[in-house]
């Protein structure tokens, strides 16, 4: 009985899991002057539900986030970055 239930769950959940795709966004972050600024931005980005990995470098004024596009979007990541007080936009 347990095997049938597990099989049924796998049958119905697999398409949902398969649709999840990790994406990456590159960020240009202006006005960071120190490592504490970068840590503040990175901490805010890591709190966004769906962000799986994130790094921010104040020396290059860049950030990078890997995220699950079924849980969040690039716009939400940009919004979280901008809420820290630093100007943030997608890299071109």
Rounded average pLDDT per 10-residue block, the chain, 92 residues: 62 59 93 94 96 95 95 96 95 85
Looking at residue 65, its pLDDT comes to: 96
**Beta bridge pairs of residue 24:** 66
Distance CA 39, CA 19 (A): 32
The whole-model pTM stands at: 0.75
Give me the helices (H) in 1-92, please. 2-19, 35-46, 74-82
Q: What pLDDT score was predicted for residue 92?
A: 79
Question: pLDDT at position 52, please?
Answer: 94
Backbone conformation region of residue 16, classed left if phi is above 0, alpha if psi is from -120 to 50, else beta? alpha
Q: Are 86 and 29 in contact (CB under 8 A)?
A: yes
């Amino acid at each position: 009985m347990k095997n049938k239930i597990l099989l049924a769950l796998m049958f119905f959940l697999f398409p949902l899991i398969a649709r999840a795709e990790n994406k990456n966004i590159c960020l240009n972050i202006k006005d960071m002057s120190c490592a504490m600024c970068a840590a503040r931005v990175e901490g805010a980005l890591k709190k966004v539900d769906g962000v799986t990995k994130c790094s921010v470098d104040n020396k290059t004024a860049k950030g990078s986030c890997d995220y699950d596009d079924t849980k969040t979007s690039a716009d939400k990541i940009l919004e979280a970055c901008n809420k820290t007080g630093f100007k943030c936009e997608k890299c071109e």
